[in-house]
Amino acid sequence: MNARVNVHKLKQDICEIGRRLYNRGFAAANDGNITVRIGENEVLCTPTMHSKGFLKPEDICTIDMTGKQIAGIKKRSSEALLHLEIYKARPDVKAVVHCHPPHATAFAVAREPIPQCVLPEVEVFLGDVPITRYETPGGKAFAETVLPFVQKTNVIILANHGTVSYGEDVERAYWWTEILDAYCRILMLARSLGRIHFFDEQKERELLELKSRLGFADPRNWPEYKDCDICANDIFRESWKETGVERRAFPAPPPMGKAKSQQAPANPQNQLDTEALIQMITDQVMAQLQTATPPV
């Protein structure tokens, strides 16, 4: 263990985030789990079957990077393996928060992709948010569902389950989930009013430039995505077939940039066929009107 790490303070931080999760309704009853990495092979972990709203520092146990508990009087969370897969894939990550925020989890249950290019703060802090395939929680297969996405985002929706977010400390890890759930709620409210409006490409690129200046990475700025439609969930859309994600509640944004220019050109023959069909129907209607018995 790193001697310079204030373990007791980190345990207090975990307890504080647990209270926030519980008070916001992100972790009902005993739901959710929180971890903080404190060394090369040591991770603080919340206990199983314990409300996150009433944690005390002495409740927090320590596990190694295989999931084995090496300290603590209460048994570690059964979903710790999910956290460990994230730490292994992202050495920069020091904290992971998993919970069930209701509005984001509604998208997880519906398998509805999160619309992009709608809210500035979401574009700057989150970007494209993926949805995993479903696996029974607690096992290795469940833990590995995040691996296709973990390098390209700091928050992931777990299909039919909840969310997991991660960052350089437990406060930052929690932020991403709070932003996501607030956004999902706004989307639902906006849809109840009729529709949502999207940014145009210029305004979205201005936000991506701001995001870069603030030091937040976004795959949409990576060279391999330079020709993508930046508002069309292009970063993770290839995963939709496997994960069962499909647009149902929210429309796709209008095509932008090169994606618009790459659309197939209109077929003149189809246009002629349509015009011919309209003319045929018009002729038939006129013929019927001419032969109809005039009113008495």
What residues are labeled active site?
79
Q: What angle do CA 146, 186, 110 make, to 5 degrees?
A: 45
**Joined tokens for residue 77:** 């969370």
Among 112, 142, 109, which Cα is nearest to 129's?
Answer: 112
Distance, in Å, from the CA atom of 2 to the CA atom of 39, rounded to the nearest integer, reads: 6
Distance, in Å, from the CA atom of 161 to the CA atom of 157, rounded to the nearest integer, reads: 8
Q: DSSP states of 12-67 as a string? A: HHHHHHHHHHHHTTSS-TT--EEEEE-SSS-EEEPBTT--GGG--GGG-EEE-TTS
User: Please, which residues bridge with residue 157 across strands?
Assistant: 131, 163
Provide CB contacts within 8 A for 275, sequence distance 6+: none
Distance, in Å, from the CA atom of 60 to the CA atom of 33, rounded to the nearest integer, reads: 11
The helix/strand/coil state of 199 is coil
Answer whether 191's CB lies under 8 Å from 159's CB: no
Longest dimension (CA), the chain: 103
